[in-house]
Amino acid sequence: MFSYCADPETLDGLTWLSCYLTTGKHMAFYGAFGTVLLLLAITAPTALAFGFGGASAARSSLAPLRWVGKAYISIVRGVPDIAFFLFFVIALDQGFEWLRHQALCPGWDQPVRQGNDFVVCQAAKLPLSSAPQWIHEVYGFFLAVLTFAIVFGAFAANVLYGAMRAVPRAQLETAEAYGMSQRQCFWRILVPQMWVYALPGLSNLWMVLIKATPLLFLLGVEDIVYWARELGGTKTPQFTDYPHGDWRMWYFLALLVFYLAFTRVSELVLERIMARLNHGQATSGGDAQRTTA
Amino acid sequence: MSCWEVIADYGLRSLGIGERLLPRDDFTLCKQVVLIGSGMIWNIYFGALALVTGFFLATAVALGKAARNPVARKLSTWFIFVFRGSPLFIQFFFAYFAFLSLKGVSPIFDPFTAAWLGALIVLFLNTAAYSGEIFYGALQAIPRGDLEAADAYGFTGWARFRRITWPTLLRLAWPAYTNEAIFLFHATTLVYFSGFPAWRQKGDALYYANYFADKTFNPFVPYPILAGYFILLTLVIIGIFGLVNRRLNRHLPQAARGKIRFRPNLLR
């Protein structure tokens, strides 16, 4: 990175550290923090959408749709989430390949499961074996995002379902009395009003989502945990210009601090949003604002 | 090979008793159920011990956070912040590598790099922080009248805590604490995926479920088995905690007794 880094042998102290921390691999490590933030940025709205769909389905007047919604909400609870992460990554991958197999290779007569192998025709492989490396990486990341969205969508559905039921019945009845249809009641009254009841649950969920991001490592994505293990391990002079002992402890300490800072900042931001949503609401939080003002 | 033989061979495999090698071929349903069930021993071991030991530290932390002494208050607040604000997964990794470094300093730290002690310590501290926050919340919610009544009867110091504060605190915290216990048992599945090595393939339930999923390339059998075991474990926890809840609330009129309901579970 810096010009004086040309010959690492001659460096010591802080200059050595500054050169060490700016090697190409460390840049990839810093980039992995971007991966985590990207995952959060994509997953949070997707999970919220899944949750909204699940919660709306669970309170639908159509019985089969209601069962699907309720099953979705309850199925992802009660079992360790990490089991779902490990399960969905393989299951989704195989599901996609099976669907493509059905569509692309109609003439195939052998079973897909042969003993301990999962066999689909060449054209149905995802991604195609001829695809460049970055497609494989993007596909892996996409599977991870989808897995996170499904699992956290169920949690969000649970929170939103509770919030929809917490909206005072009188507000909906007033809307009906004004002649609004079911659909208008839902979109104009229920949806805007439910957020103040949903936010405590959703902010809790956001914290949990942040703390779940290291599980990306288990899904095979090269994230910060992967790089911390990789870079921190003992390096001998044969393989690197910057030999050092086992520093994994310090790398994970850095990750720990990163997460602490991240959750703390989120907490402060969410507090402000909550104060804003409480404004003028007929809840104890809203009352507290009125009396102090 | 009948299922009884499989139970004899693999029933205690997670403790190192029985067959030395894990099954290599012919992954029957019976083998998967038995081996994953055998792994549950470790989940129960980690969860139960961390819960029991963590309970006492949690009480201390909650009292510390509510204390007037600024040192105790700061210490407890930071302890709770550090363990609740960071992912358990990273805590496991950090603790494992920290113990590994300490091992070089003194052989006393040898057992700490093994999961049975090292991971247990992390889980103990983690659950103490989460339950500490729950207990602190309950401590703040104790009705003023109860404490005033205690003062009026002349209760002070330890007797006041033991007879009035503590039982009320537990009573108020119990539903949330039940939830925390369920989380904790779920969190035990992270142990063998976070640095701590499974020595001689003695792992927990998820370790074996993952082994089968890798070998058969079919996730649709081992993971539902694991899910079944955990739902069963969750029901047992709710049952036991429900009994305690009944005892804690036995002085209240029937209608006022809160029932423990199965609440949403989130990971940490």
What's the pLDDT tens digit per position in B48-101?
A: 999 999 999 999 999 999 989 999 999 999 999 999 999 999 999 999 999 888
Inter-chain contact B267–A81, Cβ cutoff 8 Å? Answer: yes
Neighbouring C-beta atoms of residue B207, cutoff 10 Å: 21
Q: Does A215 touch chain B (CB under 8 A)?
A: yes
Q: How far apart are the first and last CA of chain A?
A: 55
**For A137-173, what is each residue's pLDDT tens digit?**
888 888 888 888 888 888 888 888 888 888 888 888 9
pLDDT at A266: 92
Confidence of residue A1 (pLDDT cuts 50, 70, 90): low
B232 is a domain residue: yes
Neighbouring C-beta atoms of residue A160, cutoff 10 Å: 27
Rounded distance, CA A250 to CA A253, Å? 5
B268 is a domain residue: no
Inter-chain contact B218–A80, Cβ cutoff 8 Å? Answer: no
Rounded distance, CA B90 to CA A253, Å? 9
Domains of chain A in start order, with CATH, are 21-292 (1.10.3720.10)
Q: Does A224 touch chain B (CB under 8 A)?
A: no
**For B117-136, what is each residue's pLDDT tens digit?**
999 999 999 999 999 999 99
Rounded distance, CA A93 to CA B218, Å? 11
- Mean pLDDT, chain A, integer: 82
Segments of chain B with pLDDT less than 70: 1, 254-268
B131 is a domain residue: yes
Q: Which domain holds residue B85?
A: 3-256
ipTM of the complex: 0.84
CATH of the domain at B100: 1.10.3720.10
Residues A154/A51, Cβ–Cβ less than 8 Å: yes
Contacts of A148 (CB under 8 A, 6+ apart): A39, A43, A47, A85, A209, A212
B83 is a domain residue: yes
B267 is a domain residue: no
Which pair of structure tokens corresponds to residue A234? 């003992």
Q: Does A234 touch chain B (CB under 8 A)?
A: no
**Strand, coil or helix: A190:** helix
Structurally, chain B folds into a number of domains equal to 1
Closest-CA residue in chain B for A81?
Answer: B267
Q: Does A265 touch chain B (CB under 8 A)?
A: no
B205 is a domain residue: yes
- Mean pLDDT, chain B, integer: 87
Inter-chain contact B94–A253, Cβ cutoff 8 Å? Answer: yes
